[in-house]
Amino acid sequence: MALLLGILIFSFTIHSLAIVPFINYLYRLKFYKKKSAIAADKKDAASEHIRSKAKTPEGGGFLILVLVSLLFALSIPLLKLAGIEITHVYPLNEEINVIFFTFITFGLLGLYDDVVGFFELDRQHGYSGLRTSYKLIIQVVLGLTIGTLLNINLGIDIINIPFFGVVAFGHWFIPLAAFLVVVFANSVNITDGMDGLAGGLLMISLFGLLLLSASILDVPLSIFIALLLGGLIAFLYFNVFPARIFMGDVGALAFGATFATVGLLTGKVFALLVIGLPFLINGLSSVIQIMGVKILGRRLLPIAPIHYWLLKKGWSEPKIVQRAWLTNIMLVVVGLWLALS
């Protein structure tokens, strides 16, 4: 554990040194949402909130994506050179590959969406980024690939159900894993709508997964989580209210998908669902709203996602975020209790 804490501190230091010049560069570049992405003609709480953040740059997740990837690629060889034993649950190279694949591919998808939105490359079709249907298809393909890597290359095909036992899914584990990866990627992206909300929830949730990975002595997985945590804490310092930077799709999609993959690697799917429940609730509220409009022709909720509904009810943004953090702390405690029972 001392090693992991040292790695977390090191990651935080590196990110802290890089993030200020990176933020300044984004401001010079004016890398924020263009008018076509802000729904300027709408008067609802969500649109008004988005307009208030219009001049805050996005793309903070890109810095974390790059630095964590570089540090993770260097960490295992350096630890081996130092003579430190690297214990792992799965074949080492295969485990590292699936983590990298998830982190980088979903990050690149999000980066493409951010860049398309920034340059308004699809403006003539009324879109500020990659079309939702195209994005979902790509995510499903990536999710199925990740599920295949977990199932075939790492041999994962079971789920541990608390107080019941282990259930084997065989190759049906592949679509299940793909579903969880896609759901969490989009749920984190939807939750990233208030200063410090998604970043803080990810930080708290990843501390829970770090304890789980350490409990099964999976050093590569624990190192990756520690590196990501260090980057998130440095980012969150500038992302809390009033935010100077947002993570963007590049961060939200990468962190959400990787969060699910890390949870699957720990073998504690139910703990993952409990720990990540705030993301799931936010994502589900948006799905309910979309399905209501498309199928029934009317909204089923006053406004979605949930954090905008609370904003509409009169809660201040910091109150919503802080109470979400406190709720998630208790959910992490419950998730760990279920996983370790």
Strand 165-168 and strand 158-161: the pairing is antiparallel
pTM assigned to the model? 0.91
Alpha carbons within 13 A on the beta-carbon side of 162: 15
**Other beta carbons less than 10 A from residue 88's beta carbon:** 18
Confirm if 52 and 308 have CB atoms less than 8 A apart: no
Confirm if 240 and 320 have CB atoms less than 8 A apart: no
pLDDT by residue for the chain (341 residues), tens only, comes to 888 999 999 999 999 999 999 999 998 887 776 544 445 456 666 667 767 777 788 889 999 999 999 999 999 999 988 888 888 889 999 999 999 999 999 999 999 988 887 766 655 444 455 677 888 999 999 999 999 999 999 999 988 888 887 888 899 999 999 999 999 999 999 999 899 999 999 999 999 999 999 999 899 999 999 999 999 999 999 999 999 999 999 999 999 999 999 999 998 899 999 999 999 999 999 999 888 888 888 888 888 889 888 988 889 999 999 999 999 999 999 999 998 87
Q: What was the pLDDT predicted at 125?
A: 47
Alpha-carbon gap, residue 85 to 67, rounded angstroms: 24
Distances, alpha carbon 80 to alpha carbons 7, 74, 85, 90, 219, in Å: 15, 10, 7, 17, 12
Token match 């350096």: residue? 78
Chain centroid offset of residue 300 CA: 27
Distances, alpha carbon 6 to alpha carbons 11, 204, 243, 310, 333, in Å: 9, 18, 28, 39, 23
